[in-house]
Structure 1
């Protein structure tokens, strides 16, 4: 094939971009005025099979209904069956018999149960605390406790059945010395026949009680029932031959009138440490003691 003009060619053989070159322009090539994929072409979407090549296409007609006007095919949601008309509110949910409301009764029962549990816990804690206080108070300390007006009375005078011993100061088993003697002139004594021990108000006078039947060694309390003429008294207490840490205090706890033995009966106690078996307890008027007192009864308490 030689270079040169081979004559006019068929349209499908023409160079679509020949208008861009000098030889193409010499042959009269013109830029295309339309068509898919060429410059200055306008692509319009058409239904498949609608375009007819070689025919003039009708102008584009927009769908019915101009901008801002309702379309004939448009239907508002409120016009559909069952829809709520415009301007109206949806109905409020029912709270009557057909629908259950909040379970306020259940919440109230739960709150009451929690409060009850707290009250029970506090009561148990207080009860345990009181029990501990009571137990600690029952243990004998180094300092004698103050006597109350009411006289605590043991259940038995014998220790053979497991109870702690008790004795009248005027009993024949109690040894008296130094001028102490049995008397019954003052009323109010609980000893047998209303008898008691007097004459303890002089140095050297003593009342000695031999206690038997202590099953277990340990700390105990010695209770003494006495009478004073409205003035405090005290005496030396000896346990198994050894002076006790504290003297036996016989104070006027009930504030009885001065000079009246008959209205001065009351009870005191002192802590003692006893051995298993027999023990000797002695109340004596020593130097420096104020011993103007009548002795009625003794007994031991754990």
Structure 2
């Protein structure tokens, strides 16, 4: 799934209108009409994301835009990423929303890219720890940074977590989960090697090692291999994973590492708009 597919199915115009209404409120026009040119400059190195969204904001106000880079491109301090011209009043109305898209999404893409580099060739995935109402754009930013968006919503996969197991037990949870639809994979969260073995034996498609140390995960994988179960399942590590230890988790033998921090701990990249 790429960034374009993630945006499909939603009305970009409708989203932009909602965000503009929030930002402008009861805006009172005080600037005189006049043609102007402006450019958006990045003030630090990073990975770009949100350029199409920023362009859409300006285009909503019937401004002419020139996108100088694409999502996923590396950018350097001082690069001009977008040029715009038209009524100066409309440029100023669109400025903050366009910069917010770029700052937030590029921050996520930049952090994701760093995780991807350190974990290679193991895949880095996002989680559902996102900003309500902004998930589609945060997931697109993960894709721009080279990561996998993982589930977009709770219906994308049957995820069996410890609370499900506490309520009805692992065997019953997997039985019910596999009965949802033949199109849905069943993922089980485990915290010990014996749980991973049982989940694999019961037919789980994906096993997520939750908050387990790399050495514990290696032990669990060895047990799966010894029972001839390793090739049946996709293995995911999650919980407590940082830039400092992600390479250790990548070396443990998992297929995927999911990291909530790439969305909820990403620092905005700094952009500014200047009239030229």
Is the TM value for this pair above 0.5?
no
Task: Report the TM range for the smaller structure's normalisation.
Answer: under 0.3
When normalised by structure 2's length, the TM-score is 0.23
When normalised by structure 1's length, the TM-score is 0.21
Name the one with the larger helix percent.
Answer: 2
The structure showing larger relative contact order (alpha-carbon pairs under 8 Å, at least 6 residues apart) is: 2
